[in-house]
Structure formats: C-alpha cells, structure tokens
Chains A and B, each alone.
Chain A
Amino acid sequence: MALIEIRDLTKTYRLANVVTPVLDHVGFSVEEGEFLSIIGPSGSGKTTLLNLLGGLDREYTGSLKIADKEMKALSDRRISTLRNRTIGFIFQSFHLLEHLTCLENVMLPYFFAGRPTKEAQARGRLLLEKVGVADKAEVRPIYISGGQKQRVAIARALIMQPKLLLCDEPTGNLDRETGAQIVDLFRELNKDLGVTVLVVTHDERLSRVAPRILHLADRKIEDTRTEPGKRVTDLSSSSSAPPAD
C-alpha cells in the first residue's frame, strides 16, 4: 500500500476574483521508505504541494491520500492526530520556540499526543543524541547555530516515530557544509529508521541525493528515478552547487 497516493490533484488560489491555478491534475504515489525530492523554480507550487501533503491545506479537488486516508474527508481531530502520529515537519526557518529549551521543543508533539512527560523526556534525549546535539538539551535555541537548530527540529519531527518526513527547504538557511551534514542525516534516517523522506527544495545538489525526483513546473509533475550508480553522494565537493540562501 502506498504511503502517499495522489490522483488528479488540482489546487487553485482565488484572490479577489482572480483564480490562479497552481497544480493541475497532478498524480503520483510514494511507497513507504522512499527518499524523494520535489524540485522546481520559485512559485511553481512546491510548498503548496507540501502543505497539501501535510494536511495543513485541505482545499483541493481530486484525491490525496496519506496512509490510505483522504485528507479533505478527515475531521479536525483526525487530521491533527494524523499530523501528530504519521507526519513530521521540517521547515526552512526551523520554527523552534525560543522560550523553550531544545529538549522541550523536541517534546512538543508529545504534549499534543497526550503521552506522559517522562517518556517524552527520555525519547527526546535519545533523539537529540541521534541527531548529534545531545549536549544542547537544556539550552534555549537562541544560543545554538543554524545547523544545530535544524538538528533539533529534525529530532522534534521524529519524536512520534512518523512514517513520513516532510521537509521544506531544510538546508535553505544553512551554509553549504552544514547543509550537507543535514542531508546526510536525512539519508541515514531514511536508511536506519525506514522513514519516508520527502524534501522540497530548489537546491539541485540536494535533490540529486534523492533516488527519486519530482520536477514541478507549469502546474505539472515529472517523475524521475535516478539510477543507483549515479547518485551524488558528496555535496560539499560539487562545484555546480548554488550558494546557500
């Protein structure tokens, strides 16, 4: 069973009687454990697609199923539970709460799952260790670097053991080296934990790491699967890489 199944997905924005189509009868499916990236120029609808996949935006026509659940048919409670248990979000600007410590930020989804705090703490520390920032557990995010922030955000996205990680320009705010480390971490998580990773980026180097690439342009999607031998594995040595934002 496919984790993501999209058929005839159409999304339009309506602003003061001006209808702007963003996605036009798009269709693809993603199996569990896949690592894929969505690339496309700015304004091509990458983030819109990601918001639709994450159930943050549910105004669309066609069919969009995550874990066999039609997103627009779910109640607020059910979609919230789906976001909490099945989907992990990673944002370009990290979205860490500065009044909380890194560990508390990681524990946040646990609060909304109604699970015990002690369990959240133990699991949070374990994940911070896994992403390499165990020593920052009690530190507030304003005192750590961008790369460390993204690691904390990844730990937060993983705490509920989701099946799907949705990453929106995860290296956009990081320098080249740190970005490469974060990409490596994604690959590792995909390989070790079997979590499906979907990265939206306009960074071609990052997209090339993924075995499967969805090109988004002119409201349509083009599905490309990279041959295993041609994978780009070392981003930092690539000369064609554009500078980080």
Chain B
Amino acid sequence: MTLVGLTRVVGQNIWRNSTSLSISAIGIAAGIALFGLFLALVEQVRNVVEGDIVPIDQIEVIPLSSDLQRMAQTIFGEDTFGLSDDDVKTIKGIPGVVEVLPRMNYKFSGVSYGGKALVGSEIRVETIADGIPPQEVAKELVNPPEPFEDRRPFQSNRRCRFDTDCPRGEYCEVRFDGPPAPDVADVDPLTIRRYRACALPVPTLLSRYLLEFYNTVFAPGHGYVQLNEGLLRVAEKELQFTTRLGDSFMGPQVVRWRQRNVRMQITGVSEKSMDLGVTFPIEYVRDWNDEYAGTKGAARYSSVSVRAASKEDISDVIRLVREKGFDIKSRIAEQVSSIVEVLGIILLLISLIVITIAGFNIMHTFFMLVLERRREIGLFRAVGATRANIRNVFLLEAVFIGLLSGVLGLALAYSGSLVFDTMLITQVPQFPYKPATFFDFRPWIVITAIAFAVVFTVVGAFVPSLRAARLDPVRALQ
C-alpha cells in the first residue's frame, strides 16, 4: 500500500469519525497545553533566576561529568575528569566571555589550625581549598600584608631547625625529597630525605561568603570574636595559620611520616576566592597536588570561573558553554534552580497524568472505532489488505490525531500564557525581578510537546490497532 493511498484512507477515516476523534483529541490537547505551559513557566523562572536574580554575570564552568568518564578514570587511572589549558582557551573564546579564571582544587586532604590570637581560641578545620592564577586578583587587593603571588622565588630556603633561625617573615618548614606521597608505599622510607628550610608563608584569600558564614553561624555558636575586612587588615600579624598537608579528620590520610606543616598568611578577602574554603596561588596547589596526589592530579583544572560582559549575556554564555560540551556549576543559582527543577518535575508529572488519562481515552475511542469499522476491516482484508496495512491505517490515524492535538494543545498553552501574563502584569503588584512575561516557549518545548502528543496517541491506539489487524475477516464480514 502506498503512503499516498494510506494517507487518503486515513484522511477519509478521520473526516468520517471527526466527532469522536475530536473529543478524544481534546483530552490530549488539554494535557499538552498543561505540559507546554508548565515547561515554558519553568524555563522562564530558570531564566529569571539564573539570569537576573542570582549569579548576575558569573558562572563556574566544570567538566561534563559522566559515569563513563569516571569509569575510564578508574580503569585507566587517567585524570580525564578535569579541564585542560585548551579547554580554558575554548571557554575564553566564547562570545560574551570577558574573563576566565581557571581553578584547581586540593586533590588531597589537609587540616588547618590557628587563629587563637585573633578569635581567642584555636580553630581546627578540615581544609577545603583551591588555587587560582594570582595575577588575576593581584590588582584588587588593597595593602595586602604580603602580595598574593607565588612567594617561593623570594624566600631564602636556608636550612634551619627553628623559626628563629630564619630571616624575618619566614618560618622553618619541613620538606621531603623523593617520590610523591601516593607512591611511598612502594619505596623504602629510609631513602626519603626529610629536611627543614626557611620559607615564606603561603598567601591565602578568604571569601566574603566565608567571612559572613563565620560571623553568622560559627562565631556566635562558639563565642568567638566576629571578623570583618577592616579588622583583618589591622591584625595582619595574627592572620597566620598552619595547615598539616596530608592529614584529615574524615578522609583517608597520607602516611603519617609523610605529612608536613605549611604556614599560611591571609592576604585579603576577594570575590574570586572559593565560597566555603580558602584560595591560594595556583602554583602552590599544583605542587602540593603533585606531592600528595601524584602528577596526574596536578595536570588539569577543576573548574573555570567565567565572567560575562553583562548579565544579559549570561544566558547566551551558559548556552554556548553547554554546547561546547561543558557543564555549569553555579552556587546559589544551582540551589534555587534545583528547587525550580523539583517544582517543574511536579508540574510535569501532573500534566503527564492528564496526558496518560487522555491516552486511555484515545485507546477507548480506537477500540470503539475498531468495533464500528469491523465490516470495513473485513472488506479491506478481502480486497488484499495485509494485517500490517490494517494496523498502519489505525496507527497513522493516531499520528495525525496526535499532531493535531499537539498543535491544538500548544495553541491553548500559548493563549493561556497570554491570559496569565496579562492578569499577572495588571493585577499583581510589582515585585523584585518581576518579568515582562512568565513563559518562555523555547523551540525544544514546542517539539517535545508535539512529540509527546504523538507518542501518547500512538501508544493509546496501539493495542486497538493490533486487535483490528488480528480480526478474523470471515467474522468481520458477517
């Protein structure tokens, strides 16, 4: 049977049963209308949240995390999970991006302690930290106690036993010669040389978010002194703390004799520092990762902070970043987005329930049609229709009904959105970030809605179409 012939028969059938089919189609259309409306609403809420309310003009680009990648990493021991220098270049090349800041996380553990002189009690915390290229923040720090840069070229490296053996500003640091920590299990500890040398403290950045978190959650709970940027600037001498590299309260520890202490100097507060943790010049993190997690851990960046030219550009930048095969991690926006996402899923489930019920209605209608067209099916079989021909007639009818319901549903959704927008704009008082429209009908929403309509209609008509195809022609003709 040719497609033209089939379409002709189907067209005539739809025309003939237009009343019963329209009633069933309305159910699907109503479901699709809700589906489209909810998707467009969630899309617009996400636009407003991600584009206007939360991240303003900054996002954090992370590698696309897939189970396959992780599996490859585990099997081959390769650090495929990370961003290379080429990736950073690609991200920098995206239109609308004005600034990129590659970040490298600690790939090992560490415990920091200190702060007694400043807050009145010694604080011990698991170290969460990353590194960024220091030149990117050098300009914004006002009168830092120490420049935010790799200080090692400027230190004396003189052999020492105590801090007092070192020049002013330096301290006596423990160092190791030999293979990095992950490989020490394979070597004789006696071959690793441990020595002490004078070093300058590592410049460290805090974030305002961390400061705020300390002041509102941590300090009141423990009765510690509250901190602010001004106080930090005054108390520069007290702004040192010690980190024991390789130690941990919770994670796996590096063998005890390979752990060592490094002194840190807080040099300022920056937006570019990580939110809940501290940030060092990237050279230190790279070397420590090399020392404690192996060279593979030091080869790639964990993420790239991206600033767009303006907040209007951010949604385009996000889209392009995703198209290039990366993912986005945006802190608060992510949390808000996940709430929006959950809300969206609930709304989608509601619309899917409506469409499913409509699908059952379609099934019922098609069963009725099969019953109604029994003799016709028998005749078709007598004049040479195969079972597949009969089934296809019904399925193609379902496809057409699905397409029509999809288009009708979207038209309903669009009309509904106009009504809602008019009501919300005229009746609801102005509130922060109130958008011009509450719905964003993206092309993918239109395509998905129509595809859903067709799929549900075809699925609904499938069993009846099989029954039609299996009808005994002799009985059907009686």
Contact = CB atoms under 8 A, between A and B. Distances in A.
Interface residues of B, number: 28
Given A91-B477, A95-B477, A81 B384 contact: yes
Nearest to A107: B5
Contacts of A95: 375, 378-379, 382, 477
A51 B474 contact: yes
Contacts of B389: 80, 112
A182 B384 CA distance: 24
B386 A111 contact: no
B381 A80 contact: yes
Given A54-B382, A56-B477, A80-B386, A99 B16 contact: yes
A3 interface: no
A91 B376 CA distance: 13
**Chain A interface main SS type:** helix
B2 A111 contact: yes
A96 B474 CA distance: 16
Chain A interface residue bracket vs B: 20 to 34
A116 B473 CA distance: 26
A127 to B, nearest CB: 14
Interface in A61-94: 76-77, 80-81, 83-85, 89, 91
Contacts of A89: 382-383
B311 interface: no
Nearest to A97: B376
Contacts of B383: 83-84, 89, 108-109, 112, 156
Contact of A111 (B8, B378, B388, B472): B8
B222 to A, nearest CB: 81
Given A91-B477, A111-B8, A111-B9, A77 B386 contact: yes
A112 B43 CA distance: 47
A57 B8 contact: no
Nearest to B5: A111
B300 to A, nearest CB: 59
Interface in B284-324: none
Contact of A117 (B4, B15, B16, B376): B4
Given A80-B389, A111-B9, 7 more contacts: A80-B381, A81-B384, A95-B379, A99-B15, A110-B5, A113-B1, A114-B2
Top 4 closest pairs, chain A to chain B, by CB: A84-B384, A111-B5, A80-B386, A109-B383
Interface of A: 51, 54, 56-57, 76-77, 80-81, 83-85, 89, 91, 95, 97, 99-100, 108-117, 156, 160
Interface of B: 1-2, 4-6, 8-9, 12, 15-16, 375-376, 378-389, 472-474, 477
